[in-house]
Structure 1
Amino acid sequence: MATFFGEVVSVYSRAVEEDEEEEEEGEEDAEIRREVQKQREVHLNWRSEIAESIESSSDKTFQCSDLVIAVGQNASGFLSAFVLSTGNWDVVGTVTLWNERTKGPSQVTNTQLPEESRCVLYRQAACPSVVICQCTYYVAEDQLFQWTEKVLGSIQRRGLRVLVLSDCSVAEYKTSECITASPSPFLRTLKTSEYRDALRCPLMEQPNILTGLPAAVLSHCQVHRIPAVVYQCYSDVACPDSLTMEAYRPALSCLSSKLGKVDYNPSTEVLRKVVRVSEAQSNLYT
């Protein structure tokens, strides 16, 4: 084969050399890929007594009827102020992972759960059928499937209902109308086909879509025919604040019937405490 520079080369010999190089690079790439995948694994860590009860169950799953997942600082702060502040809630598990934006332990044992984690599962002694999961870290795209399979896959599906509260910037909200027609913060919702209860806010208008962990959870529930609903709060603030937290108040009606007791009017001190803790965790210089 002649090139534009007059060089004559053998097509067959060049192809053989390139194939050999590709095979060598493929082996190295496969080893690197395995190491990266191992480092980026998602780990669900149950407390020791919970892990024992799961192992002793017939289907090896955690028994609960309602799973509430809060994704983001404001959604988690809302649950802390309005729900977790009432009654005695115990930590039953954590979800740990590592990626470029989430620096955390790769794995912990179920006998020694970390005291501070950005994804914690709680259960109330008086109402063990409801589990709350607060998730404030970033889950990368290649970890979303793992997260949903590890968490939702370990919980019984029969009779399970899932409620997701999610934070989102109002800059991502798409509308043909003036944004002042829906002053932020405001809620929009999406649900699975199995979810039959009344919705507490308008449906999310096209072409708006869910992304990240809320989308992964809703997709998992749709595939496995689990009733699930996502309430996404659009806010114009980057940091947690009490106004955005209170925007989730309509979702309380989904919880009050199950928990029996929620704090509809948390004190100013409780709200300040939640905001203050969130600000301390997100400080650029600490």
Structure 2
Amino acid sequence: MATFFGEVLPVTSRAVDEDEEEDDVTAVPTIDPVVRWTENFSVEVEKLQDRKIPCTVFILALSVEANAFSDIYLKPFGYEPVGEILPNPKEDVTSSQSSTTDKTCSINRCRSNPAVYLCQCKVDILPEHSYAWVKLLIDRFDLLSADIIILTSSGMSGYCSDLPFSDLETPFLRCLKSESFTGFPKCKILEQPNMVTGVPAQLMTFCQVYGYRAVTYVCFKEKRYMDIADIKAFIPLLQTKAVKDITEVNKNAEQMLREAVKLHSLHDMMYM
């Protein structure tokens, strides 16, 4: 089983005098993320005895491909926004932003099954901030009996294999699961010495230590920009036990795929 790595170690250059380095380094204040619920959902949360939200399925989408997959294949089943996570409490970011390129982190609840939640994180979370994000989720949701599914992507440059890259068909899916996960993954287990980092690593570490059921699916892709094939790499997940009952066939999927890729292409070109 591949390892998940959540520790962040400082790297310093030995070419710099240590005394001089200590003088130059100043403490950077850390700002913990906060969650902001919608008005109606906030009333529901206040009525809970321990203010922990009951949850049977929690899906966390982190990469642009994972979020596009969620928008096209999961959300059409019927989800309502119930809150958002703000990286900086001082930022004025609202859930009214609905563009697939908006840098938001929205929390959505399934209308037909209120114990199912989809968290779409479209902000870039630095590794050193990942612990605070995971702690926020753990403190707000009762995940002890939930199926936790994490979706993310990684470039092929970070993938280690005995096979030459020319023999690997990209994109492809790999997974990493906690020991308590009892389902059957729809892809191969992530091979050693590969690892996941950041929020997936922190959340998987927590789930492994405390016996939560969790699985991370990683789409390894060759292209830098979003591609239809990269989004479709997550489709096997629709047949998993935890997901198959909370989704339905989207007849407009192909059109939405093309529109999502086009939108991201235009957005990326603006910042080249």
C-alpha contact (below 8 Å) 1:82/1:265 kept by paired residues: no
1:113 Cα shift? Answer: 4.0
Bigger relative CO (Cα 8 Å, ≥ 6 apart): 2
> Per-residue displacement from partner, 1:4-62 (whole Å, max 9, x unpaired)?
xxxxxxxxxxxxxxxxxxxxx8xx95xx54xx22xx22111111222221121112111
1:257 maps to 2:257: no
Report which stretch shifted further, 89-98 or 271-280: 271-280
1:115 Cα shift? Answer: 2.5
Match of 1:159 among 145, 170, 176: 145
> Per-residue displacement from partner, 1:79-111 (whole Å, max 9, x unpaired)?
111111x2332111111215xxxxxx63569xx
Which residue of structure 2 aligns with residue 90 of structure 1?
A: 80
Question: CA, structure 1 residues 161+267, in 2 after alignment: closer, same or farther (shift >3 Å)?
Answer: closer
> Per-residue displacement from partner, 1:117-154 (whole Å, max 9, x unpaired)?
42111112112221111112211122111000101221
1:146 maps to 2:132: yes
Root-mean-square deviation (CA), in Å? Answer: 2.6
C-alpha contact (below 8 Å) 1:43/1:95 kept by paired residues: yes
Q: How does 1:1-286 map to 2 (within 5 A)?
A: 33=28, 36-37=29-30, 40-84=31-75, 86-98=76-88, 106-107=90-91, 113-116=95-98, 117-254=103-240, 255-259=242-246, 261-263=247-249, 266-285=252-271
Q: Could you tell me how far apart the structure 2 residues matched to 1:59 and 1:274 are? A: 40
C-alpha contact (below 8 Å) 1:191/1:229 kept by paired residues: yes
1:237 Cα shift? Answer: 1.0
Partner SS for 2:154:
strand
Which residue of structure 2 aligns with residue 22 of structure 1?
A: none
Q: How many pairs are equivalent? A: 247
Q: Which runs of 5+ in 1 are unaligned?
A: 1-24, 99-104
1:215 Cα shift? Answer: 1.0
Question: CA, structure 1 residues 139+285, in 2 after alignment: closer, same or farther (shift >3 Å)?
Answer: closer
1:65 counterpart letter in structure 2: T
What is the identity percentage for the equivalent residue pairs of Structure 1 and Structure 2? 20
Q: Could you tell me how far apart the structure 1 residues matched to 2:72 and 2:227 are? A: 12
TM-score, scaled to structure 2: 0.82
Partner SS for 1:234:
strand
Q: Could you tell me how far apart the structure 1 residues matched to 2:252 and 2:166 are? A: 28
Partner SS for 2:130:
helix
C-alpha contact (below 8 Å) 1:66/1:131 kept by paired residues: yes
Q: Which runs of 5+ in 2 are unaligned?
A: 1-22
**Of the two, which has the highest radius of gyration?**
1
Q: Could you tell me how far apart the structure 2 residues matched to 1:193 and 1:107 are? A: 39
Q: Could you tell me how far apart the structure 2 residues matched to 1:155 and 1:73 are? A: 24
TM-score, scaled to structure 1: 0.78
> Per-residue displacement from partner, 1:136-175 (whole Å, max 9, x unpaired)?
2211122111000101221013321100111100111001
Report which stretch shifted further, 69-78 or 178-187: 178-187
Q: Could you tell me how far apart the structure 1 residues matched to 2:90 and 2:222 are? A: 33
C-alpha contact (below 8 Å) 2:95/2:106 kept by paired residues: no
Structure 1: 4+ residue segments shifted above 4 A: none
C-alpha contact (below 8 Å) 1:43/1:106 kept by paired residues: no
Q: Could you tell me how far apart the structure 2 residues matched to 1:113 and 1:179 are? A: 41
2:223 counterpart letter in structure 1: V
1:285 Cα shift? Answer: 4.1
